[in-house]
A and B are shown apart, each in its own frame.
Chain A
Amino acid sequence: MGRTKYESVDASPVKSFFVSMLTRDIKLEEAILDLLDNCVDGILRTGKKTGSEPYKGFKAEIEFREDSFTLSDNCGGIPWVLHDYAFRMGRSFGRPQDVPGTVGVYGIGMKRAIFKMGRQCLVSTRNGADQYEIEITPQWILDENQWSIPVKSASKSMDQDGTVIVIGDLYPGISKRFNEDAKAFRSELDRMVSTHYAFIIDKGFEVRINGDVIKPRPTKLIFKDVPQGTSAIQPYIFKSKSDGVDVFMTVGFTRPIPSENEIAGEQEEKRYSSLDAGWTVICNDRAVLYCDRSELTGWGEAGVPRYHTQFIAISGIVEFKADDASKLPTTTTKRGIDASSSLYLQVKNKMREGMLLFTNYTNKWKGRAEESKKQVELSEALSFEEIKTKSQSLPFKSTKRYVLEGEQYKPSLPMPKRLEPTKRRISFVKEATEVEKVGEYLFNNADAEPSEVGERCFDLMLKEAQK
């Protein structure tokens, strides 16, 4: 056969795709979290991570201004042996096995964060004897044929192993967020770091934003210590190991269940700007999902009710740990769950099972929030790590009949006694202003609980009637 015009097509990558398109999949704050992920991966490569505060002594400092973004860390730097991989767009098959526990899989985090913010970047790094810097320029970004970037010995000596990324020539939208909207951006970034990095910060890592140290906001679940076999408010716990992934999951109450008044109030106008309610998913110490209350985490599926304000007290945490990050159920942004992951779907079954205990409890005690509140008196709120420690002394049962083998601790939650046959429940609705008026008359408090106001009215009338 002779030559035809259909010989081949050009399937080579287009640089502008990486620069302009990939960056659209991710929020600015998430792109910065990607850079922090690289810091943590760097710590793991140092091999110095031990004890209960394995990240202690390591820190990352974020500084943003109208014309630049800087992230500097002391997290080990980029080893020269990894330079070919660290700066390539995407991860090639030939890359050597990374140290266990890192989360970088796709090889796009740092580059995407840089391209998200600006057209110029200087990365300076020190790892042992290696000290070098790489500069990405606007000309390099525009040149479709140029894929290599020159490397130079570091022009300035660094005090310790680590990396400094300085991004300049910021896009106008980014520059505005760092300047005119700086207060709102700082607030949002702080909130994301303090929640998504709560577990790592709790273990000693220090993150600063424009000089301020960020404090973690961990979710804590109520655990009442009682003798075995006694009913009490405690979290449900499930643990498993599957195909190189350790799973530890717990769900419970962060606070007493809400009163009917609180539920009604929250429905009328939003009292809380953020809630602890919902599921947080952690992959290798980093939260990839925070307080989710959608079907993604089992709400409104397979017998579990949809999220509603009455479930404001229910919160759960699932942790996936794997030496090989590609086995973790995350998306490329690392701030989302791969909902089709077989492992995640199996774990989700257990999440729903645990959640049902607490939605059921909430429904059973509905209208009796004051009584239910007494059950959390003298109990402690435990962080995820504390629950893990506590779980070592709890009687777990094997769950072999499930697809995902594991062990679970199912607490016995108190159930309300049925009303005695001689008693009757009274409930009625009155104008809020009238309830306030009576509350003020009876208790000198217009904000008194409507149930208390109603009960007091009844007691007073009963006294009259009994005269």
Chain B
Amino acid sequence: MKHPPYHLRINKAVDRFALIEAIRRLEKLGNLNEYNYYGLGGPYLEEFRLLYEFYPEIDMFSIEQDEETYKRQKFHLPCGTLHLENMDVKSFLARYDSGGKKSIVWLDYTGLEYSDFEDFMLLLTRVAEKSMVKITLRAEPRDYFNKGEEFRKKFSAIMPRPSEDPPPMVHDFAYLLQEMLQISSQKALPADVPIKFQPVSSFYYSDGTNMYTLTGVIWPRREKTAVKQVFKGWKFANLTWSEPRLIDIPTLSTKERLCLEGFLPCLKSPGKTLRKALGYLIDEDVPITEAKLKQYADFHRYSPYFLRGIP
């Protein structure tokens, strides 16, 4: 099976670091050694590598359907606390039994199907309370350009306005997916149930394909202020289902990044400040350059370095 270089995708890498940050805040609400992590790490198991680096106390499980990729994962195994499972997501969900242990699960899909939302709903009803669930979906409006009826047939049961066409702009499309996940969460855990899905962050980004990702926790309704308290200081928190945030950091050389280090963090006009620090444009014009550099200022702590190494 052919795979794109997931581990070299810069915006996805930022999203991974955002998950690390979300877990760091989760730690303030309980011990991480009470958690298992489940993910669809692909051939390079990048998020597992990262998780092990930051939180070695978490037991990790990788779910992989393709047998060849599974063999490749065995080759890349980053640590002994990672268990590789050769099965598809549906089989995983059918067999999944939390046994009361808290989970962090990342449903990292590459497409957009109604069954993905069903998986999400099912998972919300199965995980132990105080678990964390992250879901990533393809957010390409062009897939449904002039195909509104097809979109409605697929998703009308969870659409906020089931008779309308999906929007053509990426931001609006990503927001629609978020609303659909919100409806799914309300269907899975209606207000009569003592636990709820509380969103903590939501982003959309593109490394060639537009993707949307939502992270949230399954928490007792009576303790919701505790969650809000822990996450509210986070710059990228989305605790109220407000519009998702774009991750679109510019490609900067290592030399440029080192040059900008002294100006960061930058609270006042970061785009303008960093553009002046560089002394030249990195994109078409001043506004785009400043917008890109503002993105960099926002996410620089999560931005990875890709360097040439000696094997």
The distance from the CB of B214 to the nearest CB of chain A, in whole angstroms, is 14
Question: Chain B contact residues (Cβ within 8 angstroms of A): what range?
Answer: 20 to 34
Q: Whole-angstrom distance between the alpha carbons of A276 and B152 in the complex? A: 11
Whether a CB of chain A sits under 8 angstroms from the CB of B187 is yes
For A, the interface residue count at a CB cutoff of 8 angstroms equals 28
The 0/1 profile, CB within 8 Å of A marked 1, for residues 152-176 of chain B is 1111111111111000000000000
The reply to whether A190 and B162 contact each other, CB–CB distance below 8 Å, is yes
The 0/1 profile, CB within 8 Å of B marked 1, for residues 183-194 of chain A is 110110011001
Closest to B118 in A: A270
* Residues on A with beta carbons closer than 8 Å to the beta carbon of B117: 273
Whether a CB of chain A sits under 8 angstroms from the CB of B146 is no
The distance from the CB of A116 to the nearest CB of chain B, in whole angstroms, is 16
Of B29-37, B178-186, B257-265, B287-295, the stretch lying at the interface with chain A is B178-186
The 0/1 profile, CB within 8 Å of B marked 1, for residues 422-447 of chain A is 00000000000100000010000000
A183-B182 in contact given A190-B162, A190-B163 (Cβ < 8 Å): yes
The distance from the CB of A17 to the nearest CB of chain B, in whole angstroms, is 24
Closest to B1 in A: A433
The reply to whether A272 and B158 contact each other, CB–CB distance below 8 Å, is no
Closest to B184 in A: A184
Whether a CB of chain B sits under 8 angstroms from the CB of A395 is no
* Residues on B with beta carbons closer than 8 Å to the beta carbon of A181: 186, 190-191
The reply to whether B187 and A212 contact each other, CB–CB distance below 8 Å, is no
Whether a CB of chain A sits under 8 angstroms from the CB of B280 is no
The reply to whether A184 and B154 contact each other, CB–CB distance below 8 Å, is no
The reply to whether B163 and A270 contact each other, CB–CB distance below 8 Å, is no
- Among residues 181 to 210 in chain A, which have CB atoms less than 8 Å away from a CB atom of chain B? 181, 183-184, 186-187, 190-191, 194
Whether a CB of chain B sits under 8 angstroms from the CB of A42 is no
Whether a CB of chain B sits under 8 angstroms from the CB of A91 is no
The reply to whether A187 and B191 contact each other, CB–CB distance below 8 Å, is no
Whether a CB of chain B sits under 8 angstroms from the CB of A216 is yes
* Residues on A with beta carbons closer than 8 Å to the beta carbon of B114: 270-273
Which 9 residue pairs of A and B lie closest in terms of their CB atoms, listed nearest first?
Answer: A176-B191, A273-B157, A184-B186, A215-B163, A269-B115, A180-B191, A181-B186, A191-B162, A184-B183
**B residues whose Cβ falls under 8 Å from a Cβ of A:** 1-2, 66, 90, 113-115, 117-118, 152-164, 179, 182-183, 186-187, 190-192, 196
**A residues whose Cβ falls under 8 Å from a Cβ of B:** 173, 176-177, 179-181, 183-184, 186-187, 190-191, 194, 212, 214-217, 269-276, 433, 440
A-B contact pairs, 21 of them (CB 8 A): A177-B190, A177-B191, A183-B179, A183-B182, A183-B183, A183-B186, A184-B190, A187-B160, A187-B161, A191-B156, A191-B162, A212-B161, A215-B163, A269-B90, A269-B118, A270-B114, A272-B153, A273-B156, A273-B158, A274-B157, A275-B153
Q: Can you add 11 more A-B contacts, CB < 8 Å, to A217-B163, A270-B118?
A: A177-B190, A187-B160, A187-B183, A190-B160, A190-B161, A191-B156, A191-B157, A194-B163, A214-B163, A269-B118, A274-B156
